[in-house]
Amino acid sequence: MSMKTRLLILTTLSLMASCKHEVFTPVESRITPDPSNTYFAGEPVKFNIGGQADNILFYSGETGSQYRFRDRYSVSVEQVRSASLNLQYQARYGTAGALEVYVSNSFAGLKGDDGAADRATMKALAEGGMKGWTKLSYEEGGSTVWTSQEYPMDGFLDNFTLAFHWCPSTSTATQRTYWINGSVSLDMEGTEPSTMDIMDLDPIVVMMNEELDPYHKNKGNGSVRFDNPSAASVCCQGVGANALSYALDAWIVTRPSPLNRVANDKGTVIKNLQNYMDSFEYVYEVPGNYTATFVSVNSNYMGTSSQVQEFKFSIVDKI
């Protein structure tokens, strides 16, 4: 074979390969439940896959994997079954009554990077009688005794802010230390019940004492600490009598956050260009009614084609 002939063949093959990549094929997926399915809990449900699809995404229909919730990032207030704030307090040493707790559904938030402005905000709130805030009562047990309180948060779903005011009354007596743990428990339609730690709400510390930096924290005695592994999420670390010339005055305020937010439901990629698939099996462990959804997609720079197929069925206990 001459060199000219070889070059002609190679050029032709190259053009054929190039043309192949230039072609866009609309997706045509044929997915069907296998006739042998028993639909018993704990046994595989098999789906047969035919047609032409480069990629297939599977939503099982279980909580957290429902196709109808793929673009949902919050639920309506009416879909929240319950919401509660759970706090655990431990008063360590010093004079009682040095902690106040508030919640708000209208607070716009602190800046977090402008100490003077944040001090002014909290000063105005305190002098104005904490307008727009609800004060929460709590039982202050004996020294080193944990007490727990649960507060319904139904009226604070779309904009929740939690604030602790650490405010010993005098410096001539021991300024009380408090350990605080807390979480928000949520039960919403279409999701599993969940718990959010108060530290996930990004609390900001604002020291009102002019002797200290506005964002003074994690400095041992006389500071709010988030770094005490032997204590709790929040540690208001007091000092002994006359250790300071001033009474400590600190706010710990979370960033405003909607409680009715949720993560969007996710599907699982079961097929891509790298693997061939003519069937797929999935096991449902819990009896119930499900809608399994397959999203088939062909996509390249020339275009995208998708196809959605849903299958409704009931999973029952095996007798």
pLDDT of 19 above 70? no
Please, are residues 293 and 282 in contact by the beta-carbon 8 Å criterion? no
Q: Kindly indicate the confidence band of residue 68, based on its pLDDT and cuts at 50, 70 and 90.
A: very high
pLDDT the model gives residue 273:
86
Same domain, 271 and 160: no
The mean per-residue pLDDT over the stretch 171-190 comes to 94
- Of the chain, the percentage scoring pLDDT greater than 70 comes to 92
| End position of a domain, from candidates 253, 274, 304 | 253
pLDDT per residue as tens digits for the range 224-255: 999 987 767 899 999 999 999 999 999 999 99
Same-domain status, 92 and 212: yes
- What confidence category does residue 20 fall into, taking pLDDT thresholds of 50, 70 and 90? very low
The residue with greater pLDDT, 7 or 36, is 36
Instruction: Mark whether 59 and 145 lie in a shared domain.
Output: no
For residue 25, the model assigns a pLDDT of 84
- Report the pLDDT value the prediction gives residue 144, as an integer from 0 to 100: 83
Confidence of residue 203 (pLDDT cuts 50, 70, 90): very high
Task: Check residue 31 and give its pLDDT.
Answer: 97
* 309, pLDDT greater than 60: yes
**Average pLDDT in the chain:** 90
What's the confidence (pLDDT) of residue 139?
A: 83
- Residue 172 domain-assigned (yes or no): yes
Q: Tell me: do 92 and 207 sit in the same domain.
A: yes
Q: Could you tell me if residue 245 is inside a domain?
A: yes
User: Which pLDDT value is given to residue 97?
Assistant: 92
Rounded mean pLDDT of 297-311?
A: 90
Half-sphere exposure of 251 (CA within 13 A, CB side): 26
Say how many C-beta atoms besides its own lie within 10 A of residue 298's C-beta.
20
Residue 200 lies in a domain: yes
pLDDT in tens, 72-119: 888 888 899 999 999 999 998 899 999 999 999 999 999 999 999 999
Same domain for 186 and 165: yes
Query: Per the domain annotation, does 9 fall within a domain?
Result: no
In a shared domain, residues 190 and 234: yes
Report the CATH number at residue 47. Answer: 2.60.40.10
Domain count across the chain = 2
Both 134 and 274 in a single domain?
A: no
pLDDT for 58 = 98
Whether 120 is covered by a domain: the verdict is: yes
User: What's the domain range around 218?
Assistant: 77-253
Q: Are 227 and 272 contained in the same domain?
A: no
**Spatial CA neighbour of 278 closest among 25, 47, 39:** 47
Q: Are residues 104 and 142 in the same domain?
A: yes
Residues 138, 43: one domain? no
pLDDT of 260 strictly over 90? no
Q: Cα angle at 26 between 23 and 29, to 5 degrees?
A: 135
